[in-house]
Chains A and B, each alone.
Chain A
Amino acid sequence: MGEVILTMKGIDKSFPGVHALNHVDLEIQKGEVHALMGENGAGKSTLMKVLTGIYSKDEGTIYFEGKEVSFSNPKEAQTAGIVIVHQELNMMGHLTVAQNIFAGREFRKGSFIDDQKMIEESNKIFKRMNINIDPTETMSNLTVGKQQMCEIAKAISHDCKVIIFDEPSAALTESEIQELFKIIRDLKKQGMGIVYISHRMDEIKVITDRVTVMRDGTYVGTIITEESTKDDIINMMVGRVIYEDPKTKSNVPKDAPVVLKVEHLNAGKMVKDVSFELHKGEILGFSGLMGAGRTETARALFGADVKESGDIFINGKKVVINNPMDAVKNGIGYLSEDRKRFGIVTGKSVAENTTMATLEKYCKGPFINKKKEKKTAKEYVKRLATKTPNTEQLVVNLSGGNQQKVVIAKWLVRDCDVLIFDEPTRGIDVGAKSEIYHLMNELVEEGKSIIMISSEMTEILRMSDRIVVMCEGRKTAEINIEDASQESIMHAATLRD
């Protein structure tokens, strides 16, 4: 293979509380497709953000075309010839294809925009890519696949030498993926270095030449795709080191009653025919890769999103849940993955947030009994060891872990029987993490039941009594904790049909 075009050596990056990249290496050659793999949170995106100048590195060096470089923003990286095609398309739907491709660097004739030239240039690029898109078409009229092609065209128009694809196939159909691969092979022939980030094992085998695997912010190794198997890669991704003791056996008695039963739940593209049961006192882990449809399943179950079909039974009785109000009435509480957007009311106090879901209990007629409210808030601050100066403190001023505790308090006050924890420890430091684990264990001991969605393998293995694995909206496995391993879960999580 060809000469090296890009080398990243010893890249180190820390965020407050997280060592995101720990001396990571990456080497890209001209004319190769190089896969970058790892679990969610392994540091792939962070590494690419360091490369393209979105983040600055703490340590390490980047060599590009033999020279040491350091980009302080994406524009500089683009100008040098390193471009990223993002997973989410950054397109302006109302503008034309050509206008999008040249957005921000329009050709001009005097002080007027030269649309004609932009159309001509776009056509040249499309010809080079061997695809047929009309540059005068409005962007939003194109299929997602075609939009992706435009995004690639935009990258090429920068005259780039290294192009990074961040999960390009996530939104594409099979035939669109084939077309994408054709383009990638063409680009490869032209001598470009291509970084391909994906979770899809079968694609990796088809399109890439080498694979670099990352785990927990560290570099694991680089292998040649042809000489390795899918299992080799999975083993590298999950590693042999286990940081926290996984649960060895379920704490739920065999005859524990079913408190929640979901049958054939369908909701959009992300929830397809999902069925499962939740037993009393059980922590049911939901594992899967990003975009597997776990949060969507939870939201549909909770009534936050519209479901197309499916039955929900609580304690054996069929219930109708059309909105969160119904869910709460039926004793279900949902702790969102996105605390700031869906979990807390940041501009309100700890006390107000604590009673948010139960306010009627704190009312005499129409009036709120603020003394009683404060008393309860104080109780829960004490019970959960929430660090806050007082219950009047605005939640926005608390740390992530303590905000999460306020959200938990809200649902504890409500006394829900079923709690859905969606990424309960995301963005929370290690100390608060184990406190929250402890609390979850306490809750199931009290006879509550928990659904825990988590992208952290160790968390799943440490907390769950049983594990549901999802991939692309489908349940691909249900594994008892006794039989679970990182490998078996990862295998099910990449099981496409």
Chain B
Amino acid sequence: MNNNSIIKKIGMQKVITLGILLLLLIFFSLANPTFRKYTTFLSLMGYTYYIAFMAIGVTFPLLTGGVDLSVGTGLICYALAGGYLVVYKGWPVWLGLLIAVLFGVVIGLFNGFAVAVLDLPPFLATLCTCMITRGLGSICSNGTGVPWPNGSAEGAWFRNLFRLKVGGVSIPIGIIWVVLAVVIMSIVLNHTRTGRYVLSIGSNKEAAKLCGINVVRYQITAYVISGFFAGLAGIAFAASFATIQPGLGAGFELDAIGAAIIGGVSTAGGYGTVTGTILGVLIMSLLKTGLPYIDLQANWQQIIIGIVLIVAVMIDIIRSRRVSA
């Protein structure tokens, strides 16, 4: 009885997700002893950071019943733009980071405007910005790769924000930022008007409108949040990988959206949590890092992730059937 109520409180889907996460960890550790190394953990985290930021952000448009497909190519575009100014124009790194985030916010505003004001279907509107940011990224960087400062170069300090080197040991302190983002955005979702209205719009937009809720404003807010976090994801990506190539990023958004859905965010909107999303992210990044250890390369990873997603969507459909019954 007691156990049941705890499960109920956390949510069945999260319990299942957590269970799968643990099973995967155990499985990979047993299947290949080299998986149990600290470096694996570090590379796992490298994947986790940017997917986590993207996924936390994209959770909000998903909750309104929309979607944001522009976060993948977006994050690369923002990191390229910021990095180009830093590396080739000599701007200070902090300003480059700020530009990356602001760029994300602007694209988010644009998405929100297209969806809420122009009433375009979110899928189409953000598919367009997905293509636009992909092109913009290449233009911003003049078509070349951008190596954000590394090693002992001036400005390489920002990499320490995610991986602090202390006496030859790397500490993945990026975890702090992810945890912070999860906590803050959980509070936003569950304890502020913004969160409540985002969920209400996703559950029943018409009813929300007839309550006198400013539906346009909160829809835009959701896309701005998504853009902002795509900007942060850009920074995390820049910090975790040596060089950023233009043209990258297509398909990243599917990792993020997939993570959110695995974590229990309803594809129809109105239901989901940020903590669920982050569990989904961990499954995603664990599959990405772990599968090569059992000799399953990229193609197999995608098949397996696809299957995991189908299961997650089925759970979602069964649940929404129950709610609308």
Contact = CB atoms under 8 A, between A and B. Distances in A.
Interface of A: 302, 304, 323-325, 327-329, 334, 336, 341-348, 352, 356-357, 359-360, 363, 366-368, 370, 394, 396, 410
A367 B195 CA distance: 10
A366 B192 contact: yes
Interface string B253-279: 000000000000000001100000000
Given A324-B209, A328-B211, A357-B211, A368 B203 contact: no
A363 B191 CA distance: 9
Nearest to B217: A325
A226 B207 CA distance: 49
B190 to A, nearest CB: 8
Contact of A344 (B191, B207, B325): B207
B192 A334 contact: no
A345 B269 CA distance: 12
B302 interface: no
Contact of A327 (B192, B193, B203, B212): B212
Contacts of B270: 345, 347-348
Contacts of B193: 359-360, 363, 366, 368
A344 B210 CA distance: 10
Interface in B184-225: 187-188, 191-194, 196-197, 199-200, 203-204, 206-214
Nearest to B192: A366
Contacts, number: 82
Nearest to A299: B210
A324 B200 contact: no
A48 B199 CA distance: 41
Please list the 10 inter-chain residue pairs (A to B) with the smallest Cβ-Cβ separation, ordered nearest first: A328-B212, A357-B211, A345-B203, A366-B192, A345-B204, A347-B203, A347-B323, A325-B212, A356-B211, A342-B206
Contact of A356 (B206, B213, B325): B213
A341 B206 contact: yes
B13 to A, nearest CB: 15
Given A356-B213, A368-B191, A341 B204 contact: yes
Contacts of A367: 187, 191-192
A344 B197 CA distance: 13
A345 B207 CA distance: 7
A271 B33 CA distance: 75
Contact of B192 (A341, A357, A368, A394): A368
A345 B324 contact: no
A325 B212 CA distance: 4
A341 B207 contact: yes
A260 B132 CA distance: 50
Contact of A346 (B187, B199, B203, B209): B203
Contacts of A357: 211-213
B207 A342 contact: yes
B212 A329 contact: yes
Contacts of A336: 207, 210
B82 to A, nearest CB: 29
Contacts of A360: 193
B196 A359 contact: yes
A347 B271 contact: yes
B204 A304 contact: no
Interface of B: 187-188, 191-194, 196-197, 199-200, 203-204, 206-214, 270-271, 323-325
A206 B211 CA distance: 46
A347 B209 CA distance: 16
10 contacts: A302-B210, A324-B211, A324-B212, A325-B214, A336-B207, A342-B204, A347-B204, A356-B200, A357-B211, A410-B211
Given A341-B204, A345-B203, A396 B211 contact: no
Nearest to B268: A347
Nearest to B320: A347
B65 to A, nearest CB: 11
B210 A334 contact: yes
B68 to A, nearest CB: 22
Contacts of B188: 366
B191 A346 contact: no
Contacts of A352: 196, 200
A359 B194 CA distance: 10
Given A336-B210, A342-B210, A359-B197, 7 more contacts: A329-B212, A334-B210, A345-B208, A357-B211, A366-B193, A394-B323, A410-B211
A324 B210 contact: yes
Interface centre among A302, A336, A367 (most CB of B within 10 A): A367
A170 B59 CA distance: 45
A317 B35 CA distance: 74
A95 to B, nearest CB: 23
A336 to B, nearest CB: 6
A324 B206 CA distance: 10
Contacts of A363: 192-193
A366 B325 CA distance: 33
Contacts of A359: 193, 196-197
A356 B192 contact: no
Given A346-B324, A396-B325, A356 B203 contact: no
Given A341-B207, A368-B193, A394-B323, A348 B212 contact: no
A329 B211 CA distance: 10
Contacts of A344: 204, 207
Nearest to B325: A396
A218 B52 CA distance: 63
Contacts of B211: 324, 328, 356-357, 410
A336 B208 CA distance: 12
A34 B71 CA distance: 63
A268 to B, nearest CB: 18
A320 to B, nearest CB: 15
Contacts of A410: 211
A366 B214 CA distance: 15
